Structure 1
């Protein structure tokens, strides 16, 4: 029995030593289907007040890494423009003719390109385009002035991403600038990002 145990220990230890050690092996971040959650700040530029107050911003997304460098995604973002009038001020009251506080909801498709800076760090320039809903309308639209309006948006962004020691998780931060076409409203979102790759 003692000889058998010695032989088993020898075989098991040999197979363990034969495994490829992690040292010297090039690190490759996990790629494939992913989800992400982003919480940051949002503001608009332009209008009669030049810029809005910074407000909270929430974005949820899903996507897929087509290659080690290119990924596509779909994102839903929700922000608010506060105290920035995009209509005219009324002479009698001094108030904005339409709402100077409105919700901005984005439904966008995104494309990102991963530029490797180090083993776990990548720079991620990206493009975004999609659909926007402004509620209530900050500019003149069809029908009731208080109703929401819909428009298209297009934007560019830049971010960084770090593949953590936890295999599936990456963290990062993005700056995303989008232009709402029609109402002609530039928007900016700055947010940290948590990404889980399956």
Structure 2
């Protein structure tokens, strides 16, 4: 009987100790669990963007009194930049454009050349998100923005337009951040101005952006 009583006493004393050991082990395992991985709904930071579309020059560069006919064309642009938070971004771009012009357009060649011309513009740009609209999950994915920039315009052929110029542009756009996190798509309308020649232009440009 004494042996049984001793066994029972040892069992009673051991149970709480084992329980505490199990609880400590469980707590340790819980603390060591790998935390759940979370993702940003929208990635911002370093980005790469492409855009392009119709580009029109109302009065191409030319010496007076030579004709300056309306010139339709196409443009394409690549841009690398960085988002400064949700609202602002800065970037550097290279823009290429080709424009149609008839034989009456002699530019600044004094009649030695005529017709179509192309433009290459490296430069910098600033974009500001003005208004954001949230989706059903309260994530702001759609933004109305304003974008402005400037660059050095280099023309070809040189015989037609030998002088470079300063191109400035600005305009509004709409951008939608997709559920793929890194990608956004948009469209913008910009007005442009060549400072030295006084030439006006405008463009309609769909765009695609990838943020790293």
Common fold by TM > 0.5 = yes
Residues 82 and 107 (structure 1 numbering): CA distance in 2 closer, same or farther, change over 3 Å?
same
Contact 1:62 1:75 in 2 (8 A): yes
> Match of 1:197?
211
* Distance across 2 between alignment mates of 1:97 and 1:184: 22
* Distance across 2 between alignment mates of 1:87 and 1:146: 5
Number of residue pairs the alignment of both structures matches: 168
Residue 87 of structure 1, CA deviation = 4.1
Residue 49 of structure 1, CA deviation = 5.4
Larger Rg: 2
Residue 46 of structure 1, CA deviation = 1.9
Q: Pick the aligned partner of 1:114 from 129, 143, 151.
A: 129
TM-score (norm 1): 0.72
**DSSP-derived class of the 2:115 partner:** coil
Unpaired runs of 5+ residues, structure 1, are 1-7, 91-95, 138-144
Residue 117 of structure 1, CA deviation = 2.9
Unpaired runs of 5+ residues, structure 2, are 1-25, 61-66, 134-139
* Distance across 2 between alignment mates of 1:106 and 1:172: 22
> Match of 2:101?
83
> What are the equivalent positions in structure 2 for 1:74-153 lying under 5 Å apart?
74-83=92-101, 85=105, 87=107, 98-118=113-133, 119-137=140-158, 145-146=159-160, 148-153=162-167
Higher share in helix: 2
> Match of 1:66?
84
